[in-house]
Structures are given as structure tokens and as C-alpha cells.
Amino acid sequence: MGQAGPGGAIERGPRFDDAMKAVAEDDPVGLLSVLPATAEIPPGEGWRPLDRELSRSTVRPDLLGQLGAVVVHGEYVKDRRRDLPLRMVEYRAQIRRRHPAVRIVQFVLALVDDPAVPDRYEDPDGLMVVRWVVVRAADLDRDRLLGTATTAALAALAGGSRSERAAALTAAADLIAAAEPSRQRRLLDAAVTLASIHLPLPIIETALQEATMPVPIRDLPLARALLDEGRAEGRAQGAVAMTKAVLRRRFGDDPRVDAAVESLSALPDDEAADRILAADRLEDLLP
């Protein structure tokens, strides 16, 4: 679910959702086996996916299926979202409507280290409390994640330094390379996309180059967006540097130049250029 700034509400993040769904679809039982919320569920007859169209709403749960005698519902969260508690209640009500006598396990998998994800909903009237399990990917056992090609896609999310996470991505790439060819590209794409939550593009590229069978990011559909973002970020940084250089040439090494650059960066390029040309004093460009 989610792409948003640290303090804002979450917008759904299809890239990270799609990466997690690729992992879950590859081996749902394998994924659930490494999550504390579901690891102890008896496998019974194995995993049976359930229809995620719970109602007329266009919102669908990220993971929904039956494992033995238990219905499992999971959500993947990258950032905070204010409506998550009510969504979890809504999902549970819809699932319960379809499965009135079956045990339901709900969990939220937090993909970042500290997203402050709530683990319950308490009705303001004090008449209802609904709880679920919050699993932090940072708390997962990296060695256990590297036990299968499926769960290796999450290895870079486990806690540690950048170098440890980069090494985990390299190990994951090597493990995934040994999987069936039909699974390799999809799982590696998911691994790189999830790793980008914590690792910048240059480190990811280096980690992949160190793998036994290097794969360029441009060959991975989900992760290819990282290249586009990197180029856009580079262009934006170049524009900021150019604006700062022009202002310092015109107005000297004034400590207020940075504030002027920040103010101008919110404007379209043509308008910012016109304002710089028309300004007689640096004060004319300050917010």
C-alpha cells in the first residue's frame, strides 16, 4: 500500500504492492512461514487463494487466502495511512460475512523500519475493538529469508546497515538465479523494487553487478522506474545547482541565496527564469 512523505497520509504505491504480490503469488505458504503472525498456522490442506473482490468497492485486500482451516488477510504498508484501521475493520467484516465460522488472521507487513502502524481499531463509543498483528520487515530473520528464492526477495528489508542490506540483495539475486527460469525475472524485479525502499540506485546497481548472474535494472519492469526517477532527480539537482550559481553570480555569496533557490524551485522553469532576470535585489526573490 503506500507512497507518501513521512508526515502525510499514504497514497497507494502500486510498485511496492506489485512487488509484494509477486512474492506472495510465487509461494504464499513460503511467505507466510517467515512472518510471525502466520508462521504457526497448521498448513492443513495447503493454500487456497480467495476472491479479493469483497464488495462493490474498488479497494481490494493485498493478500487473501485460506491456509488449512484459517482465512489469512494481509496488507503491505510502506508509509502511514490514516484510514488503515477502518480499512482493516471493513475487510474483516466483509471476510466474516463470507466465512461466518472460520478463524480469521489479519496482519500488516510494514516494509519500512519505523512506520508507526497501528495494530488495532478502537471505536470512539467504546463498543468495539478490532486487533491485528503488525509485522516489521526490519525484524525478520535475514538468514531465514535467504532460505528460499521466494522469501529472498524480502532479504534487503531486514534490519541492518546499507552495506548489510546491499550484501543481502546480492545474496538474494544469487539465490533467485538458481530458481526456475519462469520465476527468476519476476522475483528479482520484486527484490530490487523492495530494496529501493532502503538503498539508493547506485548501491542497488553495484549489488546486482556483484551477483553471479548480473541483470541490468533496465530489464526489470517494476524496477525500471528507479532509473526514470534517478534521471529526474539528477535533472532537478542540476537545475537547483544552476539556479544557485546564477544567483551567486548576480548577488554575491549571500547566505539568503538558499532560501531564494527554494522559493524559485516551486515555480515553473520559465517563470523562475523571468523572476531572476527581473529582480534588482535578492530580496525580490525571497519568499
Query: Tens of pLDDT along 117-150?
Result: 999 999 999 899 999 999 999 999 999 999 999 9
Higher pLDDT, 9 or 225: 225
Q: What pLDDT, on a 0 to 100 scale, did the predictor assign at position 179?
A: 93
Cell numbers at 60, concatenated:
481490494
Which run of H or E residues covers position 224? helix 224-251
Compute the half-sphere exposure of residue 158: CA atoms within 13 Å on the CB side of its CA.
22
Q: What pLDDT, on a 0 to 100 scale, did the predictor assign at position 89?
A: 95
Partners of 135 in beta bridges? 109
Q: Is the pLDDT of residue 235 over 70?
A: no
Q: What pLDDT, on a 0 to 100 scale, did the predictor assign at position 135?
A: 95
Q: Considering only CA atoms, which of 115, 24, 112 is closest in space to residue 72? A: 24
Q: Cα separation of 98 and 190, whole Å? A: 31
Q: Is the pLDDT of residue 170 over 60?
A: yes
Query: Tens of pLDDT along 3-61?
Result: 333 333 333 458 898 999 999 999 999 999 999 988 888 766 689 999 888 766 667 89
Q: How far apart are the first and last CA of the chain?
A: 35
